[in-house]
Amino acid sequence: MKEIRRLIKDDGTLFFCEHGIAPDLKTKKWQNRINPIWKKLMGGCNINRDIPEIISNSELEIVDLETMFLPGTPRIAGFNYWGTARTN
């Protein structure tokens, strides 16, 4: 995210769509259990990241944010975040 922030111009916009940590405790527990194996099998991909927190901590302000479990996707990998963020 530091590199993304560095590349976005002042008043620039980041459009994002990423899967991450689910809001319900049961799914979240499974995501945390499975993530070490998932990461190795899926080329470094993580399923348990708090996407809004990561974006906010990178000096970007989230403007629009939508979330949902993607239909037909296993819950452990199916919670998705999408929206836009702007430079502060």
* pLDDT band at residue 10 using 50, 70 and 90 as cut-offs: confident
What is the predicted pLDDT for the residue at 72?
96
What is the predicted pLDDT for the residue at 5?
87
How many domains would you assign to the chain?
Answer: 1
CATH of the domain at 72: 3.40.50.150
| Backbone angles phi and psi of 79, in degrees to 5 | -85, 125
pTM higher than 0.75: yes
Backbone dihedral region for residue 59 (phi beyond 0: left; psi -120 to 50: alpha; all else: beta): left
**Going by C-beta distance under 8 Å and a sequence separation of 6 or more, which residues neighbour residue 72?**
none
Per residue in 26-71, pLDDT tens? Answer: 999 999 999 999 999 999 999 999 999 999 999 899 999 999 999 9
Cα 21–chain centre separation: 7
**Distances 74 to 5, 32, 83 between C-alpha atoms, Å:** 31, 15, 22
Q: Which residues form the domain of 26?
A: 2-87
